[in-house]
Structure formats: structure tokens, C-alpha cells
Structure 1
Amino acid sequence: MQKIQQTRFFLFRFKLFALSFLLGAFSLTACTMNPDKQTPGEEYVQGEWRQDSVPAQNRLVSYSLYDLKFSCDSFYMKISSFSKINYGPDTCMNSGHWAEYIKGTYSQKLDTLHLKGEFCNADGSYKDEKGCFRSGDYEEYFKVKQKTDSLIQFASTSNVIPINARLIKRTSCVPKPL
């Protein structure tokens, strides 16, 4: 009888050890450490880009112009919107002209640029949900066509008007600590 109990106890401890080992092995493969610095991002977009106009903007009821800044794997975007129709209170609409700001990170796979971030204030600080316009998460995919070294077309998957942006200032990636 004692030998059976010893065998059961041994099997119990062996199963416990095996389970602990497997859980430890899975946790090592499932989790990775976050990097301590920014990743380099895409070299060809590093810098500041501006959209000066959209086709037939004088005939449009509303349109937006984009300013984009890429630094390593991060982006900062200003969307300047113009409208002939006042959609909301003038404290927000500012007589048909307002701006929204977004910051986050980006990645590129083949010809698609994926921007993921959040709406923020002009200084990059957290935007209160009770403020004007959009707040919270921002996520967008763009098909990218580099026309020249200083002209890129970003074709949004959710908008029919492409963003033709010209280079304002070229920068290089200097990874910052996170």
C-alpha cells in the first residue's frame, strides 16, 4: 500500500513539474520584451510633408488638407478642415475652418502604410473626449506611391481624395528612448 502511495505522489509531482515547465515555455514564446528605443521606420518618409490643395477644392462643400511629420517609427498629423456648411457650434467650427491633431506609430507592409495612434491637442497632449470633434483612437491604412523624392501620394482606404504631399523638410531617424 505504501508503495502505491509513493508512486502516486511521484506521478503527481512529475505532472506538476511537467505542467510548470510547459507553462514557462509557452510564456517565453508568447511574450516579448518591448524595445527600449524607437525603431528606425521607413527612410523615404522621414521628415515633414504638406498637402497644399485638393483637386477642385473651390467647388467642394468641405475638404481637408494634411500636414504629416514622420520621425523614426512615429508620426504626427495635422488635419486642417474647411467647410462651407457649419456642422456644429461656431466655437468648434471657427467659421468653417478647424484643425485636428493625431500622434502615433506607423508600419509599412509592401505598398500599404498603417497609421495607428490617437487624437491629441496641438501640443501632443491627451485630448479630452468632451472637446470638439473626434477623440480617442485613430487607425488608417494608406496605399503609398512615391512620385519623386519630394512628392508622395497617400491614397486612403476610407477616402476618395488622395493626399498628394510634398516634402517640406527632410530629417533622419535618431531613435529616442521609450
Structure 2
Amino acid sequence: MQKPFRLSLFTVRLLAFILLLSAFSCHFNPDMQTPGQAYLQGEWQQDSIAGQKQLLNYSLYHLKFSCDSFVMTIHSYSKVNSGGDSCTSKGQWIEYCKGTYIQKHDTLHMKGLFCNADLTIKDEKSCFRYGDYDEYFKIRKKADSLIQFAGATNVIPINAHLIKRTSCVPKPL
């Protein structure tokens, strides 16, 4: 006659702990975009900055927010001759970023990657910045169609006006 199989009290408790831990530690990523911030949805443009004629270097931004995602175009200008660099065209160049954002209180965290013009991932052999884009902005709504993004790493804030309002239509990931 076989002896019945019995688990010790320790083993039962250990299995219960492991099951409980796995139930609370793992979750699936969402299969759809989240809605993001309704007031940001659309395209925003920075046309100029105060005193830009006196600055040696500056950048102007175009931002497009769609649900919880963004695409940013950075038009940079420089009066400084950096030599025979084939990346700048008479002191002007464009960079692109794409990624997702979250807002907590007055802080917007934009996290993504530097891209090529067709939004494919930029490789390290290309011009200027590549890899991760990670920036925090203090965001201040100045009017219904004017927002100020004050970057944590930039002295000059981005004052962008709304050029096209859109609404979030979540897409599958």
C-alpha cells in the first residue's frame, strides 16, 4: 500500500507566497495607446524666440501629440562656423524624435528616440544626436492655443502655438 502524498506546511505556505507574488508582480502591457492629455492633442509650432537675432545658436520646435505619443522636429540654427562639417547646411540642421509622454502635475516627461526624417531609428553613424531622447518640461498653459514648455536642460523655453487641433484615436501597439 502506498503512503498518501502530503505537503509540509512550509511547502504549502511557500507555494501560496509564490502564487501571490506572481499575481501582483506581472501584468501585460496594454495593447492599445492610452489617451494622453486632451489639451495637448494636435500640432504645436514655435515660430521664433525672443532675441534670436542676437543668439549664436538656437532651436525652434514643432511638436505633434497623438494620444500618449509625440513626434518632435527640432530646427537648429548656428552662426558659429564649426568647420567643414557636412551635417550642417549653412548653419542649419533638423533633428527628429519620437516617443511617448506622461504628465504628472505640471511636469511633462517625454521619452523616446532620435529618428531620421522618415521616423526610422537613427543610427550612431549619422549626424548629431542619436539614441535616447529623455526630457522633462515644466508645462504652463498660457492660453487655449499657447503653451510654454520649460525644459530642465534648456535655458530658453519653448513657446508653442496650436496650429492644428486633433483628438486621440487610440491605435493598437
Number of the residue aligned with 1:80? 75
Matching residue within 102, 108, 115 for 1:113? 108
SS in 2 for 1:143: strand
Gaps of 5+ in 1: 1-5
Any stretches of 5+ residues in structure 2 without a counterpart? none
Which letter maps to 1:143? K
Equivalent position of 1:18 in the other structure: 13
With 157-166 and 16-25 compared, the bigger mean Cα shift is at: 16-25
- Letter in structure 1 aligned against 2:112: G
Aligned partner of 2:132 in structure 1 is: 137
CA deviations over 1:50-100 (Å, ceiling 9, x no partner) = 000011000000000000000000000011100011336432111210011
Q: 1:88/1:107 Cα in 2 relative to 1: closer, same or farther (>3 Å)? A: farther
Question: 2:71 aligned with 1:44, yes or no?
Answer: no
**In 1, Cα distance between the equivalents of 2:84 and 2:107?**
36
Displacement of 1:45? 0.5
Aligned twin of 1:3: none
Distance 1:17 1:135 in 2: 51
C-alpha deviation, 1:10, in angstroms? 4.8
Q: CA RMSD in A?
A: 1.6
Q: What does the per-residue CA deviation read over 1:143-171, in whole Å, with 9 as the maximum and x for residues that have no partner?
A: 11111111101011111100000101000
Q: TM-score, normalised by structure 2?
A: 0.93
Structure with greater helix share of residues: 1
Query: How many residue pairs align between the two structures?
Result: 170
Amino acid paired to 1:45: L
Deviation at 1:22, TM superposition (A): 1.1
CA distance in structure 2 between the partners assigned to 1:48 and 1:88 by the alignment: 35
For 2:116, the aligned partner's letter is N
Name the CA shift for 1:89/1:77 in 2 (closer, same or farther; >3 Å).
farther
Is the partner of 1:23 in helix, strand or coil?
Answer: helix
Letter in 2 for 1:107: I
Offset of residue 138 of structure 1: 0.8
Given residue 61 of structure 1, which amino acid in structure 2 is its aligned partner? L
Greater than 6 Å deviation, 4+ residue runs: none
Report which of the two structures shows the higher radius of gyration computed on alpha carbons.
Answer: 1
